[in-house]
């Protein structure tokens, strides 16, 4: 993705040209891996953790 913004700056009675050039690149494979990390962590937590089978003291009837 590329974007260019051109404008004018008015400071202390002087006018200056402002140019902003922006380029963004994303490695699709790295992005995909980072998104999958959350899914993998959630799956691991679901497989390796469990709620207590009996209610905690003071939590009956909730």
- What are the counts of helices (DSSP H) followed by strands (DSSP E) for the chain? 1, 2
The residue among 23, 16, 17 whose CA lies nearest residue 6 is 17
Q: What is the pLDDT along the chain (62 residues), one digit of tens a residue?
A: 899 999 999 999 999 999 999 999 988 888 888 888 888 888 888 888 877 677 667 766 55
- Residue ranges covered by each domain of the chain: 2-48
| H-assigned helices in 1-62 | 28-48
pLDDT of residue 61: 59
> Both tokens of residue 11?
């400071």
pLDDT of residue 59: 67
Q: Which residue has the tokens 């992005």?
A: 31
pLDDT of residue 34: 82
pLDDT of residue 3: 97
């Amino acid at each position: 993705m590329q974007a260019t913004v051109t404008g004018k700056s008015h400071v202390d009675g002087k006018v200056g040209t402002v140019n902003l050039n922006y380029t963004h690149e994303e490695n699709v494979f790295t992005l995909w891996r980072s998104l999958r990390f959350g899914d993998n962590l959630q799956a691991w937590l679901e497989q390796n953790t469990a709620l207590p089978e009996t209610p905690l003291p003071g939590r009956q009837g909730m």
